[in-house]
Amino acid sequence: MSLTRIHIDSERIRQQIEALAVYIDTSKPGWTRRPFTSWYEQGREWLRQRMRENGLSVRQDSASNLIGQLPGSEPGLKPIMVGSHTDTVTGGGRFDGIIGVIAGLELARVLKETGIILRHPLEIVDFTAEEPSEFGISTIGSRGMVNQLLAEMLLRKDPEGLVLRDAIQRAGGSPDDIAAQARRSGDVAFYLELHIEQGPVLEQTGNTLGVVTGIVGIHRFSVTVEGAPNHAGTTPMGLRADALTGSSELVLAVEEIASQKYAEPVVGTVGRLFVEPNASNVIPGRVVFELELRSLNTKIVEQAAAALRVRATQIAERRGLSIRLEPLSQSDPIRVSSEVQSIIREVCSAIAPTIELPSGAGHDANQLARIAPIGMIFVPSEGGRSHCPEEWTPYAQVATGIEAVIQAVLLFDQRWDALEREDDSNGTDSGS
């Protein structure tokens, strides 16, 4: 494929990423910008201004997603959507999610400066709270956009007692209108997201761009282990109902079960625990922790979860404990359609060394795939590191990824409707 190359100024990209990186909680390590905080709102105000400067009209939807819009030249066509998120994990970095939003800004800038008008309307989206939140739910904004933010989820509370629906309201959303205003199948022509790989494959293989073939599904659970708090010095070892030692055994079971051989790889993680009463001289009486299982195969995740439930029952009976596993959230794995992969591969291969690879991390694209075809482009993560202050991608590589997004949008804008008509006539499904 012969492309008319588009120059993306890596210095401008650096300036934008570092400007957004100012809005962080300095009491936390790294670049911490949690959703529903003052730092998050300050970052969004910065983003609103940049959207307007690049010719976008700006609004927030009922799930408080921040959306910049451009009209298209052909009435009746559904929008092309480009987006990601600006919230971070605690102690996170400057690139995860952020570069996907900056890519949208650059796309709008290029269209404005070149005078190009897309056939489709364009939407640039900063999705609310993509990372796992204090409410036990991830991808809050994109779930809301596709009507997967259920009434029970909206009533969940964070550790401070804030209710999710109130948090969304404060952030500019309208939780009562989420279901009525949600996007339905066919409401979006195509969704595209640029992201750091968050793994080592691109760097180790010497490639700059990755065409994502699929995204893992993630099943998250809240686990409550109830024992009996008692004096640490006077209670014999054989007469204890220690919630923490039972929890520790179950955490190791997560590692063991996820490490078994399956038709598709599985990973399992426990990364958040609460111990009560959390005193050095008291046997722990209650432990609550969150665990997650990830795979490209839903049945395998369910198989691993079932094995964990069996193990939990065994541990509880042997140790005199009560153990409950309750689902928190579930996102199904996504397979990117061959048609989408073909167009993205065509563009990326004309720009830089490119390979195909799956995503081991979840994204807002998991939710958008419920209503539209989705695609993702990866750029390398130095050392394969992410969700930490050391997260790093050279700005020149970010700029290359942004050019690939822009070129892909231009190509989809011209080709996608014809491809959909061809698929419809052949009785096939071009979605994810």
What topology does CATH give the domain 219-330?
A: Alpha-Beta Plaits (3.30.70)
Are 343 and 249 spatial neighbours (Cβ–Cβ below 8 Å)? no
What pLDDT is stored for residue 1 in this prediction?
Answer: 64
> What's the rounded Cα separation, in Å, for the pair 106 and 340?
22
Of residues 177, 175, 135, the one with CA closest to residue 34 = 135
The first and second tokens of residue 400, run together, are 């290359």
What pLDDT is stored for residue 427 in this prediction?
Answer: 41
What pLDDT is stored for residue 426 in this prediction?
Answer: 41
Q: How many other CB atoms are found less than 10 A from the CB of residue 243?
A: 26
Q: How many Cα atoms sit within 13 Å of 149 on the Cβ side?
A: 37
What pLDDT is stored for residue 332 in this prediction?
Answer: 85
Indicate the CATH number of 10-216+333-426 among 3.40.630.10, 3.40.710.10, 1.10.10.10, 3.40.50.2300: 3.40.630.10
What pLDDT is stored for residue 56 in this prediction?
Answer: 98
Are 227 and 372 spatial neighbours (Cβ–Cβ below 8 Å)? no
Of residues 46, 379, 359, the one with CA closest to residue 208 = 379
Are 224 and 324 spatial neighbours (Cβ–Cβ below 8 Å)? yes
What pLDDT is stored for residue 377 in this prediction?
Answer: 98
> What's the rounded Cα separation, in Å, for the pair 50 and 58?
10
The model carries a pTM of 0.84
> What's the rounded Cα separation, in Å, for the pair 165 and 64?
11
> What's the rounded Cα separation, in Å, for the pair 47 and 114?
22
Ramachandran quadrant class, 172 (left: phi over 0; alpha: psi -120 to 50; beta: rest)? left
What pLDDT is stored for residue 329 in this prediction?
Answer: 85
What pLDDT is stored for residue 45 in this prediction?
Answer: 98
Would strands 230-231 and 282-283 be described as parallel, antiparallel, or unpaired? antiparallel
> What's the rounded Cα separation, in Å, for the pair 424 and 420?
6
Residues of the chain under the 50 pLDDT cut? 425-432
> What's the rounded Cα separation, in Å, for the pair 104 and 406?
8
Q: Are 10-216+333-426 and 219-330 equal in CATH topology?
A: no
What pLDDT is stored for residue 421 in this prediction?
Answer: 53
Question: Which amino acid, 303?
Answer: Q
| Domain segments of the chain as ranges | 10-216+333-426, 219-330
